Amino acid sequence: MKRFWWWVALSATVGTLGCTRVVEEPRPVRAWPVAPITAGQVSDVLSPRASREAESNLFSTVAPQRCAGLAREVDPPFLFDIGTVPAAHSAGQWNGANRFSIQEMAAVYPANFDAADAVDAVKRTLGDCRDEQLTVVTMQDETLHFESIPAAGHASPQIALWSITSARRSCDNAYIAAHNAAIEITACGDLNGYDVAGLADEALDRLNLLANMTS
């Protein structure tokens, strides 16, 4: 009888050992700080002229999807679909000379944001979508048809420029990325020709100033 209970106890022990699972602790994921430009400074990335209350009839969808970054102003792909989630974002609109409407969209990212890589990705998309026909639907369900056209280059590697045009409306655009922030500017009017390169220079100056304030 003793021999029987000894066998039961041994079998239970072996069974317990056989069912033991080794649980590995997950490796900690590094939480990158939002720096040197902080999330609270995202509104300062925009120009002082930009007003959120002034936003109206933004470009909400663009086809083909692979070229959406050239025109979409609602959740702009060049700010939201770049592989790094923004820590904060903001936007605003203002009226320029000669009936131009200027839309500014900005995002601030964690410190691992690669500004140079982001600009290069935008330039690759511009090259892939050169002379592409774009179908744009606005927030007021207005459908517009644009053609993407090459714009003059910019001396700064932190800035990309491009334009889209149509018989009814045309837009000149800029993308600027530096440090851990990016801003996209769209100037739309009856014809192309707004000085978005000058606006891009101003935006780059703001990014550098904000980074130096906290570094």
The string of pLDDT tens digits covering residues 83-121 is 999 999 999 999 999 999 999 999 999 999 999 999 999
* Per-residue model confidence (pLDDT) at position 25: 60
Q: What is the 3-state secondary structure (H, E, C) of the chain?
A: CHHHHHHHHHHHHHHHHHCCCCCCCCCCCCCCCCCCCCHHHHHHHCCCCCEHHHCCCCEEEEECHHHHHHCCCCCCHHHHCCCCCCCEEEEEEEECHHHCEEEEEEEECCCCCCHHHHHHHHHHHHHHCCCCEEEEEECCCCEEEEEEECCCCCCCCCEEEEEEECCCCEEEEEEEEECCEEEEEEEEECCCCCCHHHHHHHHHHHHHHHHHHHC
Q: What domains, with CATH codes, occur in the chain?
A: 2-214 (3.40.1000.70)
Q: Give yes or no for a cis peptide into 36 (omega within 30° of 0).
A: yes
- pLDDT tens digits, one per residue of 157-171: 999 999 999 998 999
Size of the chain, expressed as the number of residues it contains? 215
Per-residue pLDDT of the chain (215 residues; tens, 9 = 90+): 444 444 444 454 444 444 455 556 656 556 899 999 999 999 999 999 999 876 778 999 999 999 999 999 999 999 999 999 999 999 999 999 999 999 999 999 999 999 999 999 999 999 999 999 999 999 999 999 999 998 778 999 999 999 999 998 999 999 999 999 999 999 999 999 999 999 999 999 999 999 998 75
